Chain A
Amino acid sequence: MSTPITKTSWFPAVLSFGSVFAALLLIEILIRLGLINRFIVPLPSDIAAALPRVIIEEQVFSRFLLTATEAFSASILVTVFGVAGGALLYRFRLLREATETWVAAVAAAPLVLIYPLYLVIFGRNATTIVVMGFTAGLAPVMLKTLEGLAGTRRVLINVGRSFNLTPWQQFWKILFPAALPTIFVGMRLGLIFALINIVGVEFLINFGGLGQLINELAERYDLAGTYAAISFVILISINVFILTEWLERWLRPVE
């Protein structure tokens, strides 16, 4: 008996890409039928056609490099301070009880609104963008680090205690690796939040890489180009997500 098509290993991927393609096709048809105004939403086929033009004529790769550098700097800051902050909240109960609600509130707040303040403090430069990315990504990493450390199974901690581990060894040999899958969830969220805010602030202050490109294309009313650039940013976000997943699998091969 042959395997049903829905049970094959490739079917979910085909369904996933097929759904995106079907949605784009539907939009294309609705625009061509005049049900969606093509001066607001360009044809997906025009966006696809504009992508090579945007990549070549608008120096997408050098702009991407600039955004990537800002995102990388923010990621390092988010990871270092987020994990350290989460570990501190785990270690000091009073600190956790006093601040956890505030950190959770910050995670849910539209932090991009704070950019004018950073603009005043740091000026219209890459520092403002990096600090904005850092601010947006910090809270999820802290909260997930805390959740991961607090969720470490008691028996694993007791194994460490039974082997007379120092607090430092207990953290690095047991607590941290046990919490790593949850920390990675936080990092994935944090890095995506950082990237969104970085591109958003580049757009708002018309400075830097891809966000500035989107702003320029929008101001030229090059709708297809604008959407092509946005698509490029979405592709970058997907790749960042895949990269963190791959990194997690590499660090924790079998669970």
Chain B
Amino acid sequence: MFMGSIECTESGMAVATALTAVESSGSAAAAGGAILAVDNITKQFETPEGAVIAVDGVSLSVAHGEFVGIIGPSGCGKSTLFNIIGGLLDGYEGTVKVAGDLVRGPHPAIGMIFQEESTFPWRTVIDNVAFPLEIAGMAKRERYDRAKHFVSLVGLDGFERRYPAELSGGMRQRVSMARTLAAEPKIMLMDEPFAALDEQTRLLLGDKVLQIQQQLKQTTLLITHNITEAVQLSDRILVMTYRPGKLKRMIKIDLPRPRSSEIVSSEAFGRYVAQIWSDLREEASRGMHADEAAKLKQGGQS
């Protein structure tokens, strides 16, 4: 099922034994019964410059309760993959299955947290969180009770009647998280949810995510370009190549749980970060050069 690890072996990359456990084909997810199975996804976009392959033959699986991070440079197709798994994008090759059920569009078992600020500004915190329950037709009192539980879970007690405009960026992202969790998805997809936040808030929110994951055993797939965030939160990290986006390598994060942001100062954490960066550096550099070449070409044409 997992292709990235095979590529890694084929390319004969050196793997630091203390850091990385590259699985050949049967991942931990497969062993634990995958709740999410992505099989050989390829997505191509037509552009004025010709066809661009955004994602190329990506396969992965995530086990129940597992936290998997996908990391890659800008333009590697991470968000395309996020939208495909979330059922927001069609016209691709391959399959996505959640608990054995083929995903053909937005699926009730999948909850999504977006990179951009996505709270509804016209709803209070409690009404934002209760939104999926309202859509499900739950009675007002019951849905408010349930929503209150999730507001409390993300640490926003006392802010129930506030509007998003009255909250900080980090608090608004926690409202989005509570809203997604309120729908009780089997798997939560997060697309760079803390990208717009400063580093300190990002680390503290990471703590909150870890706490919630510990409490709910929530299966999560995190898409990010932040190495620290990926190592802090994940059980496994999948590294993607620059365009076309393929899985380059899988790294198992053997850091103890429960974790907190204090782990970033540990030696093992530093080694994971260095290892991932050495993988990413080449890809990020390719991306940067491709961007520069495209800009140069645009300049020449104009």
B residues less than 8 Å from A169 (CB atoms): 135
A residues less than 8 Å from B112 (CB atoms): 158-159, 162
Which of the segments A111-119, A172-180, A223-231 contacts the partner chain?
Answer: A172-180
Alpha-carbon gap, A161 to B83, bound state (A): 11
Alpha-carbon gap, A36 to B131, bound state (A): 64
Let me know if A219 is at the binding interface, CB within 8 A. no
How many Å from the CB of B64 to the closest CB on chain A? 21
Instruction: Give the dominant DSSP class at B's interface.
Output: loop
Q: Are B86 and A254 in contact (CB under 8 A)?
A: no
Q: Give the tally of cross-chain contacts (CB within 8 A).
A: 58
B residues less than 8 Å from A253 (CB atoms): 163
Which of the segments B2-10, B118-126, B214-222, B284-292 contacts the partner chain?
Answer: B118-126
Most buried by B among A153, A161, A169, A252: A161
Chain B interface residue count: which class?
20 to 34
Partner of A156, one of B87, B105, B118, B165: B118
B residues less than 8 Å from A153 (CB atoms): 116
Let me know if B166 is at the binding interface, CB within 8 A. yes
How many Å from the CB of A219 to the closest CB on chain B? 50
Chain A interface residue count: which class?
20 to 34
Partner of B132, one of A158, A163, A180, A251: A163
B residues less than 8 Å from A103 (CB atoms): none
Partner of B122, one of A158, A159, A177: A177
Q: Are B165 and A254 in contact (CB under 8 A)?
A: yes
Chain B residue with the shortest CB-CB distance to A159: B118
Let me know if A14 is at the binding interface, CB within 8 A. no
How many Å from the CB of A185 to the closest CB on chain B? 16
Let me know if B169 is at the binding interface, CB within 8 A. no
Known A159-B114, A161-B88, A162-B88: A252·B106 in contact at CB below 8 Å: no
Let me know if B56 is at the binding interface, CB within 8 A. no
Binary interface encoding of chain B residues 115-148 relative to chain A, with 1 for a CB under 8 A from any of its CBs, else 0: 1111011100000000110010000000000000
Chain B residue with the shortest CB-CB distance to A169: B135
How many Å from the CB of B192 to the closest CB on chain A? 12
A residues less than 8 Å from B183 (CB atoms): 163
Let me know if B108 is at the binding interface, CB within 8 A. yes
A residues less than 8 Å from B111 (CB atoms): 162
Q: Are A173 and B135 in contact (CB under 8 A)?
A: yes
Alpha-carbon gap, A47 to B111, bound state (A): 66
Known A253-B163, A254-B163, A254-B166: A163·B135 in contact at CB below 8 Å: yes
Let me know if B239 is at the binding interface, CB within 8 A. no
Q: Are B165 and A158 in contact (CB under 8 A)?
A: no
A residues less than 8 Å from B116 (CB atoms): 153, 155
A residues less than 8 Å from B87 (CB atoms): 161-162
Let me know if A240 is at the binding interface, CB within 8 A. no
B residues less than 8 Å from A164 (CB atoms): 105-108, 135
Alpha-carbon gap, A159 to B131, bound state (A): 10
Binary interface encoding of chain A residues 37-55 relative to chain B, with 1 for a CB under 8 A from any of its CBs, else 0: 0000000000000000000
How many Å from the CB of B20 to the closest CB on chain A? 33
Let me know if B110 is at the binding interface, CB within 8 A. yes
Alpha-carbon gap, A74 to B118, bound state (A): 37
Known A163-B183, A165-B135, A169-B135: A174·B120 in contact at CB below 8 Å: yes
For the complex of A and B, 9 pairs with smallest distance between CB atoms: A254-B163, A162-B112, A155-B116, A177-B122, A155-B118, A164-B106, A254-B165, A155-B114, A159-B118
Measured CB to CB, the residues of A under 8 A from B are 153, 155-156, 158-159, 161-165, 169, 173-174, 177-178, 180, 251-255
Would you mind naming 16 contact pairs between A and B with Cβ atoms under 8 Å apart?
A155-B115, A158-B118, A159-B114, A159-B118, A162-B86, A162-B106, A162-B111, A163-B183, A164-B105, A251-B122, A253-B163, A254-B121, A254-B163, A254-B165, A255-B121, A255-B165
Question: Besides A155-B114, A162-B106, A165-B135, 7 other CB < 8 A contacts?
Answer: A158-B118, A163-B135, A164-B105, A173-B135, A178-B120, A253-B163, A255-B121
